[in-house]
Amino acid sequence: MKAFLFPGQGAQFPGMGKDLYEASEEAKALFHKANDILGFNITEIMFGDDAEALKQTQVTQPAIFLHSVIMSTVMGSSFTPDCVAGHSLGEFSALVSAKAMSFESGLKLVHQRALAMQDACDEVPGTMAAVLGLDDKTIEDVCAKTAGIVVAANYNCPGQLVISGEIEAIKLACEAMKEAGAKRALPLPVGGAFHSPLMEPARTKLATAIENTEIKNPICPVYQNVAAIGITDAATIKANLIEQLTAPVRWTQSVQQMLEDGANSFVEVGPGKVLQGLVKKIDRSVETSSGAIA
């Protein structure tokens, strides 16, 4: 059983997508369509060498989405998912690739999501930190006991969890994590407290856009971040997508559930190999690979 995985923010790199653009007329058409939908030449930034320009949230998120979705298109007949999952932003790529949403709708939502998240970051300062070498339960307990807002945000793989919240609360939690035996607890260079209650203003803005977007039943189960189980019902997908910005990314749980449901081959579609690394940390024995142009 084949699972196709779609990466989230952080996987971007200068020059991304240029090979796809040059390899296929269909890819070329989709990139041009994206420029029209977004109202700026995202291809110029993606194919160029300005890493700083690519790091801006309103560019990064659509860029990763485009790379993933267009790659799944140019993979042609080798894109044969029995199930799909995406990490945070990657969930939108997964839904479009699984035909639950149109390319246009997915791109518009991703763009709105990026702008809403940026606004929330400006409005409510926050940050995130990676905690290594502690079990999930201990991390959750430390967060619960720490003053201020701090929560478990990204369950990436056993022994690697990202926490999110107010700047001071993250500092206190990092100290407490080290005292509890963490190998490392280090703040991340991010602009805000993603997947925490601090993203509520962004969730509210995006909820309206998601409500007004047509979402259909996908061609295969989508293991959503919020639920960590395979879902094929459009209404449930929509509800989970609305919750996603303030809820944790249950990546470990999603992969474990896919394995339990019979997945034995994981293909990462999009820039980088981060998700393949996480899958290997969850189960060394499974086969992982990167999507390739047909």
Shared domain check, 246 and 130: no
pLDDT in tens, 65-116: 999 999 999 999 999 999 999 999 999 999 999 999 999 999 999 999 999 9
Shared domain check, 130 and 118: no
User: Looking at the domain assignment, is residue 105 inside a domain?
Assistant: yes
Q: Is 265 helix (H, G, I), strand (E, B) or coil?
A: strand
So what's the pLDDT on residue 292? 84
**Does residue 294 surpass a pLDDT of 80?**
no
Looking at the 3D structure of the chain, how many domains does it have? 2
Shared domain check, 225 and 98: yes
User: Do the Cβ atoms of 198 and 124 come closer than 8 Å?
Assistant: yes
Q: Which amino acid is at 283?
A: D
Shared domain check, 236 and 152: no
Please pick, among 97, 164, 195, 196, the residue that the annotation labels catalytic: 195
User: Looking at the domain assignment, is residue 192 inside a domain?
Assistant: no
Shared domain check, 130 and 106: no
Rounded CA-CA distance 17/46 in Å is: 7
Catalytic residue flag (residue 289): no
Rounded CA-CA distance 229/232 in Å is: 10
Shared domain check, 117 and 141: no
Please pick, among 24, 68, 72, 88, the residue that the annotation labels catalytic: 88
**Does residue 274 surpass a pLDDT of 80?**
yes
Catalytic residue flag (residue 88): yes
Shared domain check, 99 and 164: no
Shared domain check, 93 and 211: yes
So what's the pLDDT on residue 55? 86
User: Looking at the domain assignment, is residue 260 inside a domain?
Assistant: yes
- Give the domain range for residue 258: 2-122+197-290
Shared domain check, 204 and 268: yes
DSSP string, 104-135: HHHHHHHHHHHHHHHHHHHHS--EEEEEES--
For 181-211, b/e burial (b = at least 16 CB within 10 A) is: ebeebeeeebbbbbbbbbbebbbebbbebbe
Shared domain check, 243 and 177: no
Rounded CA-CA distance 28/24 in Å is: 6
The pTM is what? Answer: 0.95
User: Looking at the domain assignment, is residue 265 inside a domain?
Assistant: yes
- Polymer length of the chain: 294
User: Looking at the domain assignment, is residue 173 inside a domain?
Assistant: yes
User: Looking at the domain assignment, is residue 72 inside a domain?
Assistant: yes
Domain boundary among 156, 187, 218: 187
- CATH code for the domain in which residue 166 is found: 3.30.70.250
* Start-end of H helices in the chain: 18-23, 25-38, 42-47, 51-55, 57-74, 90-97, 103-123, 136-145, 167-179, 200-211, 234-243, 251-260, 274-282
Shared domain check, 22 and 111: yes
